[in-house]
Amino acid sequence: MDFNTDALKSMQEEGHAIVAEAEAPRVYKASNGQCLAFSASALILANCNGKKNQTWSLDGNNRLLAANGKCAGGSHLKACDNSKPQKWKYDSSRRLMNQAKKCLQPEGNPPQKGARVVAANCNKSARQIWK
């Protein structure tokens, strides 16, 4: 069987680039323009300022990591483990959904600055959209 090694190498490089982009630190902005942040161990909304408490990454284990090395597990940061509430994906609807089938959303309608961000049943609410 003949393999096109150049094509295989190119596909491998593209795959590595996709993984690196997914794991790169980023900011998640809610529909009201506020950013996902943490204060102590609570997840909250805050004015976007690019500080470390607003920087998140999805690691190779699908954990939503804060800049302090803790993981989002529902509405709080906790020591990282491999539990379903700590395994997240950013889905095609731009929701942050964990393996427990809960989506991150700020409390309040409309949410305000400082609102707690909680894991709630996933739905079509604009409050569950993160850009």
Do the beta carbons of residue 50 and residue 42 sit within 8 Å?
no
Reply yes or no on domain 26-128 having CATH 2.80.10.50: yes
- What tokens does 20 get? 């690196």
Do the beta carbons of residue 113 and residue 46 sit within 8 Å?
yes
Q: What is the pLDDT of residue 74?
A: 87
Question: pLDDT tens, 48-72?
Answer: 998 999 999 999 999 999 999 999 9
pTM reported for the whole predicted model:
0.82
- Cis peptide leading into residue 110 (ω within 30°): yes
Do the beta carbons of residue 125 and residue 110 sit within 8 Å?
no
